[in-house]
Chains A and B, each alone.
Chain A
Amino acid sequence: MSAIIIFSLLIAVMLTGMPISIALGITVLTFLFTMTSVPIESVALKLFTGIEHFEIMAIPFFILAGNFLTHGGVARRMIAFAKSLVGHWAGGLGLTGVVACALFAAVSGSSPATVVAVGSILLPAMVQQGFPRKFGAGVVTTSGALGILIPPSIVMVMYAVATSTSIGKLFIAGIVPGLLLATILGLVTWFIAWRNGYPKLPRARFADTLRAFRECVWGLLLIVIVIGGIYAGIFTPTEAAAMSAVYAFVVAVLVYRDMPLKRVPKVLLDSANMSAMLLYIITNAVLFSFLMTSEQIPQAMAAWIIDQNLGAWAFLIIVNILLLAAGNVMEPSSIVLITAPILFPVAMQLGIDPIHFGILMTVNMEIGMCHPPVGLNLYVASGITRMGITELTVAVTPWLIAMLLFLLLVTYVPAISLWLPNLIGAR
């Protein structure tokens, strides 16, 4: 009963268009004030203690690192390297887009930024070479979503925080699905280009490939520091994030010299702004899950679902549908923070691996960014290509279908997510 009241209240408040963080907070306050005897003073304390964990502090650091390297110059170097690798196959520049997005995703935790950085350099070049506009838009919009699957990923940190799972293990688990999805998107691109006879580029000389690699390797080392550092036990994930922020600063300002020193405070301010927004959602989501727990809603839901004898198979279908639906109206971090504390206990009871479940949620979030009405990637891509949302939706369809098939694959083949972390025995 109280579950129904809480959720109707939350949905009603959210639909008024107020910030999600505020909507969560108001729901909790209203419910506590009118329906329970929980002392309301404890709410203020929760707003502080909710984010008083060192793990959560990885988020601002990763955002800072990403913002230093989410720079046109870095994207240009990665595109040059990708072009020299795959440009000579059918649909050369299209494949280049997929590879460049995958590379850029390794330094940036944000999908829309990946779409903008790669798209605004690559798309004009593609149009110039005679590719139809919708082909280029489809490639970049969907490949940009790799940003949150290939580590470092803010969404994964959110999941880890909400469910007390290991950040390092999630990151390592994201590598294989990320590469697999990049391959699948590449195959779709290649197939469409091959059938329509889209232009290829001349094969790059080995020396050129090597030079292009040397140019972009500084950016790529970031991901080596993060994954290597966590895996080897040199850093905790939060320390790895702080190290990568310092490293990204050195690369952007001293090595690449893309960023004049006087722009650094602006980057710091923008990162702080973004982080504060996410931390504010986290604090209110913590409040919300505190309310959930005190009303024993996750337990009740878990018991109910297990009573239905659904089994893991059907439960995962429901989770996928629920998350894809939520992806229509909300952005990834909020969805994860609100749904993970409720779905996670059920998944555990059904014997689903926590890491597998995390990857599954992340892939769902990725798809949510690419389909209307609220796919952020679509909006961003529509800004670059000056195509309407409807036209773009048609353009991304082939890749979107491939992503949905990939989601099914990830859902029902846990080994894709679990093989690598188990192989190297990540903790």
Chain B
Amino acid sequence: MKVLDRLEEGLITFLMAAATIIIFLAVVHRYAAGVHWLNPITRTMSFSWAQELCIYMFVWMAKFGAAYGVRTGIHVGVDVLVNRLPPKGRHAFIIFSLLAGAGFTGTIGSLGATLVYEIASTGQTSADLELPMWLVYLAIPCGSYLMCFRFLQVCWRYIRTHQLPSHNEAHVEGIDDLHPRGGQ
């Protein structure tokens, strides 16, 4: 389980960093290509595939990041009403919505798997990178099934401990160490 957690975190961290660097290099390359004396270097490279790769990387990041988000409790809903309910009703609603989340992502995962299977038989490839499209679309079933698993995991934990993961949106790095001398 720990391995899966680390793998998930590692993958989305890597995709975020790599996409940023790729677009940065592509822009630098575009302007360096205009400089005459850099020509021998820039001519040997091409970044025409950068945009497409960036998009695919972010789509993969989005799918797996959404699963990670279930674990960190970042997906928020309209909880004003539910929070006013007596505890018993509230538990029922929370468990219902977690299971609905699992049901939805499970369905999408299965639809995605069918889609990947169909596309694989057509041998379609992407425009610039010429990657097989089934490989690109594989993000949908894998990401959705993982998300489904995370929903079930959170639900199971909730039933046992009545604790939901909660995301602290208001966290700012470096405030804590400033606080003692906040008055300056």
Interface residues in chain A, defined as those with a beta carbon under 8 Å from any beta carbon in chain B: 13-23, 25-26, 29, 40-41, 43-45, 47-48, 51-54, 56-57, 60-61, 64, 70-73, 75-76, 112-113, 115-117, 120-121, 124-125, 128, 235, 238-239, 242-243, 245-246, 258-259, 263, 265, 267-269, 271-277, 279-280, 283, 328-331, 373-374, 376, 379-380, 383
The answer to whether A22 touches B75, judged by C-beta atoms less than 8 angstroms apart, is yes
The answer to whether B81 touches A48, judged by C-beta atoms less than 8 angstroms apart, is no
Q: How far, in Å, is B87 (CB) from chain A's closest CB? A: 14
B16 at the interface (CB under 8 A from A): yes
Which residues on B sit within 8 Å (CB–CB) of A259?
A: 173-174
The answer to whether B111 touches A48, judged by C-beta atoms less than 8 angstroms apart, is no
Which residues on A sit within 8 Å (CB–CB) of B20?
A: 61, 64, 242, 245-246
The answer to whether B178 touches A121, judged by C-beta atoms less than 8 angstroms apart, is yes
CB closest residue in chain A, given B118: A41
CB closest residue in chain A, given B27: A239
Query: Which of B72, B97, B172, B176 lies at the interface centre, i.e. has the most chain A CB atoms within 10 A of its CB?
Result: B172
Given A242-B19, A269-B16, output 17 extra A-B contacts at Cβ < 8 Å: A17-B82, A17-B93, A19-B75, A20-B75, A22-B75, A43-B108, A51-B58, A64-B20, A72-B175, A125-B182, A239-B23, A242-B20, A258-B174, A263-B173, A272-B13, A276-B69, A330-B78
CB closest residue in chain A, given B26: A239
Known contacts A22-B75, A124-B183, A276 near B27 by CB under 8 Å: no
**In the docked arrangement, what's the CA distance between A143 and B49, Å?**
42
**In the docked arrangement, what's the CA distance between A128 and B183, Å?**
7
Interface residues in chain B, defined as those with a beta carbon under 8 Å from any beta carbon in chain A: 9, 12-13, 15-17, 19-21, 23-24, 26-27, 51, 54-55, 58-59, 61-66, 68-69, 72, 74-83, 93-94, 96-98, 100-101, 104-105, 107-108, 111-112, 114-115, 136-137, 139-140, 169-179, 182-184
Which residues on A sit within 8 Å (CB–CB) of B62?
A: 51, 275-276, 279-280, 283
CB < 8 Å neighbour of B172 from A44, A117, A271: A117
Q: How far, in Å, is A161 (CB) from chain B's closest CB? A: 13
The answer to whether B75 touches A48, judged by C-beta atoms less than 8 angstroms apart, is no
Which residues on B sit within 8 Å (CB–CB) of A246?
A: 20-21, 24
Known contacts A14-B77, A21-B75, A243 near B27 by CB under 8 Å: yes
Which residues on B sit within 8 Å (CB–CB) of A376?
A: 169
Which residues on B sit within 8 Å (CB–CB) of A73?
A: 174, 178
Q: How far, in Å, is B92 (CB) from chain A's closest CB? A: 10
- Name the prevailing secondary structure of the A interface residues: helix
CB closest residue in chain A, given B136: A48
Which residues on A sit within 8 Å (CB–CB) of B81?
A: 15, 17
Across chains A and B, which 10 residue pairs bring their CB atoms closest together, nearest first?
A: A276-B65, A72-B174, A18-B97, A19-B75, A279-B62, A44-B111, A17-B82, A242-B23, A124-B182, A280-B66
**In the docked arrangement, what's the CA distance between A70 and B62, Å?**
22
The answer to whether B101 touches A116, judged by C-beta atoms less than 8 angstroms apart, is no
The answer to whether B69 touches A18, judged by C-beta atoms less than 8 angstroms apart, is no
Q: How far, in Å, is B39 (CB) from chain A's closest CB? A: 20
The answer to whether A125 touches B184, judged by C-beta atoms less than 8 angstroms apart, is yes
Known contacts A16-B100, A242-B27, A380-B170, A54 near B107 by CB under 8 Å: no
The answer to whether B174 touches A41, judged by C-beta atoms less than 8 angstroms apart, is no
CB closest residue in chain B, given A45: B115
**19 interchain pairs (CB within 8 A)?**
A18-B98, A19-B75, A20-B75, A29-B104, A29-B107, A54-B51, A60-B61, A64-B20, A72-B174, A73-B174, A113-B170, A116-B170, A116-B172, A117-B175, A243-B27, A258-B174, A374-B80, A379-B170, A383-B170
Q: How far, in Å, is B112 (CB) from chain A's closest CB? A: 4
The answer to whether B112 touches A47, judged by C-beta atoms less than 8 angstroms apart, is yes
CB < 8 Å neighbour of B179 from A16, A48, A120: A120
**In the docked arrangement, what's the CA distance between A329 and B82, Å?**
12
The answer to whether B139 touches A48, judged by C-beta atoms less than 8 angstroms apart, is yes
The answer to whether A277 touches B24, judged by C-beta atoms less than 8 angstroms apart, is no
The answer to whether A60 touches B74, judged by C-beta atoms less than 8 angstroms apart, is no
Q: How far, in Å, is B37 (CB) from chain A's closest CB? A: 21
CB closest residue in chain B, given A331: B76
Which residues on B sit within 8 Å (CB–CB) of A43?
A: 108, 111
Which residues on A sit within 8 Å (CB–CB) of B54?
A: 54, 57
The answer to whether B17 touches A268, judged by C-beta atoms less than 8 angstroms apart, is yes
Known contacts A17-B94, A64-B20, A272-B13, A22 near B108 by CB under 8 Å: no
The answer to whether B137 touches A48, judged by C-beta atoms less than 8 angstroms apart, is yes
Q: How far, in Å, is B79 (CB) from chain A's closest CB? A: 4
Which residues on B sit within 8 Å (CB–CB) of A48?
A: 59, 136-137, 139-140
The answer to whether A44 touches B140, judged by C-beta atoms less than 8 angstroms apart, is yes
**In the docked arrangement, what's the CA distance between A331 and B114, Å?**
34
CB closest residue in chain B, given A114: B172
